[in-house]
Structure 1
């Protein structure tokens, strides 16, 4: 057995009390509040599970074993940590004193089903028109930010969209805890590292970003923008690294730009606000908003392009797709992602592969407005 197989078997042994939930495809998240208090999320609903660990010692042993898989450890000086299981499931651990009632663990399960873009369309996460539009944008090397709330499908969508990156492109992926599963051939995956108990060996997202620029990337993908690395990303996007992508927590596209601006200010680099906003609007071409609805359904709810800031330094967005009321064949009312009728800023500028994938579905979006003619 290789090391990965050994760790897989060992982790499975220690997590035996919750193994049935980790193996159940209908369960998306397992939340352990204490050794004897476990909740699961299934079909978008939270439920108390009857399972429990034998005692606090057995629970702590399981947590330590999970952390050992990625070479991490948790102490009173480092009570919060992100890691993953051998199958790729994301794990967050919080212990005392931050977790008042004892060590808490949340496991966001890795979806063993490959959610490619066609599968997302089958699930109703986005429409064929929106899918074609995003394909054109990726092939046009537009910088895309996927925004949404917790568990709204940001990472799954980013994974699926990355498949449209042309083959041969050198992609550098930067993550705090490895989660993305890109299928391209030429991928470099970088993962941040926390300092040890003596404060040594830390590698931050910002460190990785600077390193990535020396790795000759064609495109850079950031798993999640959380802090001062936002400024590094913005500057990279405006200096020749087109077609880059990332995710960010935000409730709508306008909030996404404001949050990106706030995080860029966390870099402690002195930059006038109007200059920063101009850089943000120049760096980000498109914001794709994801939402989680009642019942756990995840979908794309809005796609907006970013125009240059106005004369007052305010962000300007053009909503290319938005949710609109529809009535199905059975007369049932609902909402669906529809084109707004606004032309894309890419209209008339498409070349090569990007122009070739445009069909009648999105032709109106990418066709320039007719020039007025002078009578006479």
Structure 2
């Protein structure tokens, strides 16, 4: 039926329906409000109808692409675009004899607009502020994270090709590609959300997509204190360390809040300093006016043109930075980062995947070894001990909440062992009846050695902050 239908000419209404074109077009664009939640509260009463609507949406989308100049739509007001699409969709609904009431028609129009100008079924999820992560395991399985808890959603793509079209729309916008020859890709959305994609043959059961949504609310240290991620005394120590140019590694597992912490700490860097950021997919939100952002580049079709993080770190040293911020340190670039920290770029920061501060130091050793340089273990550890002064450890608890579980100081090298001392820690005491993690923050009683360095920058901290007998 759809093959005989043309959007350029409205079809004749069914004989049994008197003047059907009068009622439908009366739905004005301003009265159509898309639902806040992309999925109905109740399962669809008729699965066959839902499947038919999904097929119809995909077919109609293809026709509208041929019928409408998308570049011209970008210049029109949203309500005018909606009005034009409403008229065409109404014609199509009548021709296909789809049984839709006024609200269902409005929802259908919103879905078509999402397909044309957005990312289809993902668009309502991206607009939902309660969702932190979107996880797609093939075209029929979508999960989201709300409040640290994963939950499935009955959001579906028509088929694998429909999902692949959305994926290609995302990655091509940042000059990247994903296919069988390049099945893995990191990208970002226009709002800064981070996207990771794995397609066949890597994705055995279909494309895997992970979207870490960009938070429109900038979380500063005071806000992190409010939500219980750390205590005010800990926040004050961290802020003072950043001001005094204490080189810092932020450690934690996936989704533990490393990037959020890095953004929060950056607020205490002087606006007189020049910062350079290096990332695989740019997502940092540094709060200074003088920031140069650099992003890696994957190889092209011929396997050439790749620009790695190590190349960018080396280049950054020639760009007169005061500090270098490495979004994620995970390979041979660790050596160049430590070199920067040791040669006049104190106060630089990086994130790393590790479960404890000691593990973070061990991982740095391993990554420096990946550079293939003729260095002994002792010289590698000497580089780390001289460059890194503080490790901030974060963890996502079993109840979904993120916490700073440890703040440790690197005190130097004794023999061939890197010495560390913990300043603050989170002590877990149990689990509440509702699954909430119970515990408290406490000082260990150790006064950090960098207090003397803070004093030279005019920053003094009360000794009571480090007294384990006093609650934080």
Q: Same fold (TM over 0.5)?
A: yes
Contact 1:29 1:40 in 2 (8 A): yes
Whole-Å Cα distance in 1 between the matches of residues 346 and 156 of structure 2?
49
Distance 1:146 1:333, change over 3 A: closer
Superposition pairs for residues 131-142 of structure 1, below 5 Å?
131-142=235-246
User: Which residue matches 1:257?
Assistant: 361
Distance 1:28 1:68, change over 3 A: same
Contact 2:115 2:121 in 1 (8 A): no
Whole-Å Cα distance in 2 between the matches of residues 205 and 12 of structure 1?
35
Q: Larger C-alpha radius of gyration, 1 or 2?
A: 2
User: Which residue matches 1:300?
Assistant: 404
Contact 2:198 2:208 in 1 (8 A): yes
* Structure 1 position 11, deviation (Å): 8.0
Whole-Å Cα distance in 1 between the matches of residues 442 and 301 of structure 2?
52
Contact 1:136 1:355 in 2 (8 A): no
**RMSD of aligned residue pairs (Cα, Å):** 2.3
Whole-Å Cα distance in 2 between the matches of residues 103 and 145 of structure 1?
33
Contact 1:11 1:66 in 2 (8 A): no
Contact 1:18 1:52 in 2 (8 A): no
- Aligned with residue 171 of structure 1, among 275, 278, 302: 275
Q: Structure 1, unaligned stretches of length 5 or more? A: 366-376
- Which has a greater percent of strand? 1
Contact 2:408 2:424 in 1 (8 A): yes
Provide the secondary structure at the position in 2 that maps to 1:40: strand
1:195-236: CA deviation from partner (whole Å, max 9, x where unpaired): 111112211101100110000000010000010000111111
Distance 1:83 1:242, change over 3 A: same
Contact 2:397 2:437 in 1 (8 A): no
1:307-343: CA deviation from partner (whole Å, max 9, x where unpaired): 11212x112111011124689xxxx993222221101
Whole-Å Cα distance in 2 between the matches of residues 361 and 107 of structure 1?
43
User: Which residue matches 1:107?
Assistant: 211
Of 121-130 and 354-363, more deviation after overlay is shown by 354-363
- Aligned with residue 189 of structure 2, among 76, 85, 101: 85
Q: Structure 2, unaligned stretches of length 5 or more? A: 1-69, 76-112, 431-435
Whole-Å Cα distance in 2 between the matches of residues 333 and 99 of structure 1?
35
- Which has a greater percent of helix? 2
Distance 1:180 1:284, change over 3 A: same
Whole-Å Cα distance in 2 between the matches of residues 24 and 249 of structure 1?
28
* Structure 1 position 292, deviation (Å): 0.3
Structure 1 residue ranges, 4+ long, deviating more than 6 angstroms after superposition: 9-12
Provide the secondary structure at the position in 1 that maps to 2:187: strand
**1:286 correspondence with 2:286:** no
User: Which residue matches 1:358?
Assistant: 461
User: Which residue matches 1:372?
Assistant: none
User: Which residue matches 2:327?
Assistant: 223
Distance 1:113 1:349, change over 3 A: closer
Query: Structure 2 length normalisation: TM-score?
Result: 0.71
- Aligned with residue 156 of structure 1, among 260, 269, 273: 260
**Which of the pair has the greater relative contact order for Cα pairs under 8 Å at 6+ separation?**
1
Superposition pairs for residues 1-376 of structure 1, below 5 Å?
13-311=117-415, 313-324=416-427, 334-351=438-455, 354-356=457-459, 358-359=461-462, 362=465
